[in-house]
């Protein structure tokens, strides 16, 4: 299963303004309710058509826009969906759909941008992590989530110690060549080194070779990871892990690791051992945000708020660093940036958007962290809790 990524969600948010249709529906991988999913889908498409017309679109234009949905409304699609929920995004130049392991509430939103808040539990709390499976004969790098794992190809990442150190098969008398990287270059394999006898019993020399191998692995991962804040879990036999930690330059390497020979573990087995490690870290991160909010809230620092009207403006102007926002709820209204005025409405009116989604989207776009959580997990029974950058 391919989960929607943070980058894809940002792409959806950044789409040009226009008529954007967001549809969320629960689905059923098996059982008699499977037959009801196509019927629910057609009902939601009709609801989207009504909302497009209410927003000012001509009926024939609304029908034309939603015709893209026919691409997936086939019996074969519904038989193979295999997930708990379906998210669909339709605009003049976009048609995307994501079967996802989330039991969505039925929801149709038509505004001038896509509605993304129901997707956010995938990113935080159930978020991404990496696994680096290390052995001298095999290096594998994976991206995982709570629900999935996939192997990634990384440019210049050596697959083995022999490849990294460029052992020279043509060398005579059992010699090999160690490649040492030139300072300041991204090519780890470009500069020949010195010759050493192959099969040397010198244990210290062999550990030096392994350390150099791991330094090459670390450099290959640097461009992939340099802007990330995603946990990285090591998997390997116990004596290799301290050597990799010595070579490592990535700040979010987990202290706990998967101990054992990763060559005999499948991607799913690696995932099953890595997830408990990173789940505890995700929960710790969210708890730290809660504790920080309580410390800052109510004082005269002005660095925390649970007032939605204040948080809307702060999110728009890139002030929100961390945000807790309620999933499964909407607060309809409008924000006028010119006057910094927020209008809250008890029911959705023409032109309204979900302001909870608004603050989540702008926080995400501006590099903040968003925790989409059940309403009861937010302090003081409010729909948002924000920590400001300044």
Q: Which tokens is 110 given?
A: 């038509």
Q: Where are the domains of the chain?
A: 6-119, 129-281, 297-388
Question: pLDDT averaged over the chain?
Answer: 86
Token pair 């461009």 is at which residue? Answer: 223
CA distances to 77, 81, 115, 129 from 73, rounded to whole Å, are 7, 11, 22, 33
Residue-wise pLDDT tens digits, 46-92 = 999 999 999 899 999 999 999 999 889 998 898 888 888 999 999 99
* Residue 180: per-residue pLDDT: 39
Q: Of all residues in the chain, what percent carry a pLDDT higher than 90? A: 62
Greatest mean pLDDT range, 125-129, 143-147, 308-312, 364-368:
308-312
Residue-wise pLDDT tens digits, 325-384 = 998 899 999 999 999 999 999 998 888 999 999 999 999 989 898 998 889 999 999 999
**Going by C-beta distance under 8 Å and a sequence separation of 6 or more, which residues neighbour residue 335?**
312, 313, 316, 341, 342, 343, 355, 358
* Architecture of the structural domain at 129-281: 2-Layer Sandwich (3.30)
297-388 placed in CATH 3.30.1330 = yes
Mean pLDDT over 243-264 rounds to 96
* Residue 103: per-residue pLDDT: 84
Question: With 80 as the cut, is the pLDDT of residue 149 above it?
Answer: yes
* Residue 17: per-residue pLDDT: 79
Token pair 């990285």 is at which residue? Answer: 232
Q: Which residue has the higher pLDDT, 226 or 27?
A: 27
* Residue 190: per-residue pLDDT: 37
CATH topology of domain 6-119: 3.30.960
Q: Which residue has the higher pLDDT, 194 or 235?
A: 235
Mean pLDDT over 18-34 rounds to 85
First-to-last CA distance in the chain?
A: 40
Q: Which residues of 153-185 are buried (b: 16+ CB within 10 A; e: fewer)?
A: ebebbbeebebbbebeeeeeeeebebbbbeeee
CA distance 89 to 305: 32
Lowest mean pLDDT among 128-137, 221-230, 239-248, 337-346: 221-230
Mean pLDDT over 35-53 rounds to 94
What confidence tier does 197 reach under pLDDT thresholds 50, 70, 90? very low
At residue 159, the 3 state secondary structure works out as: coil
């Amino acid at each position: 299963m391919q989960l929607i990524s943070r980058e894809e969600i940002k792409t959806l948010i950044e789409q040009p303004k226009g008529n954007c249709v967001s549809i969320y529906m629960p689905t059923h991988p098996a059982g008699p309710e499977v037959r009801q999913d196509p019927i629910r889908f057609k009902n939601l498409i009709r609801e989207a058509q009504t909302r497009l017309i209410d927003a000012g679109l001509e009926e024939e234009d609304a029908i034309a826009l939603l015709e893209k949905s026919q691409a997936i409304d086939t019996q074969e699609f519904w038989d193979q969906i295999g997930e708990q929920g379906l998210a669909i995004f339709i605009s003049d130049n976009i048609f995307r759909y994501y079967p996802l392991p989330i039991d969505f509430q039925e929801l149709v939103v038509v505004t001038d941008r896509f509605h993304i808040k129901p997707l956010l539990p995938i990113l935080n709390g159930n978020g991404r992590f990496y696994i680096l499976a290390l052995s001298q004969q095999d290096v594998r790098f994976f991206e995982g989530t709570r629900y999935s794992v996939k192997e990634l190809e990384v440019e210049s990442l050596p697959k083995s110690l022999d490849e990294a150190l460029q052992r020279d098969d043509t060398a005579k008398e059992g010699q090999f060549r160690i490649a040492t990287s030139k300072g300041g270059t991204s090519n780890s394999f470009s500069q020949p080194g010195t010759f050493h006898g192959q099969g040397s019993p010198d244990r210290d020399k062999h550990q030096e070779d392994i350390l150099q191998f791991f330094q090459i692995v670390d450099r290959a991962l640097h461009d992939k990871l340099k802007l990330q804040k995603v946990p990285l879990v090591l998997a390997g036999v116990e004596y290799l892990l301290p050597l990799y930690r010595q070579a490592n330059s990535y700040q979010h390497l987990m202290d706990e690791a998967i101990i054992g020979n990763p060559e005999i573990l499948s991607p799913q087995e690696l995932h099953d051992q890595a997830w408990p490690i990173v789940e505890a870290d995700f929960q710790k991160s969210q708890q730290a945000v809660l504790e920080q909010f309580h410390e800052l809230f109510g004082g005269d620092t002005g660095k925390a708020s649970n007032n939605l009207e204040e948080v809307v403006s702060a999110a728009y102007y890139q002030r929100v660093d961390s945000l807790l926002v309620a999933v499964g709820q909407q607060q309809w209204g409008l924000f006028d940036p010119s006057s910094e005025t927020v209008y809250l409405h008890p029911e959705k009116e023409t032109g309204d958007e979900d302001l909870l989604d608004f603050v989540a989207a702008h926080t995400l776009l501006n590099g903040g962290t968003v925790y989409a959580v059940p309403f009861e997990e937010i302090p003081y029974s409010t729909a948002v809790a924000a920590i400001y950058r300044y």
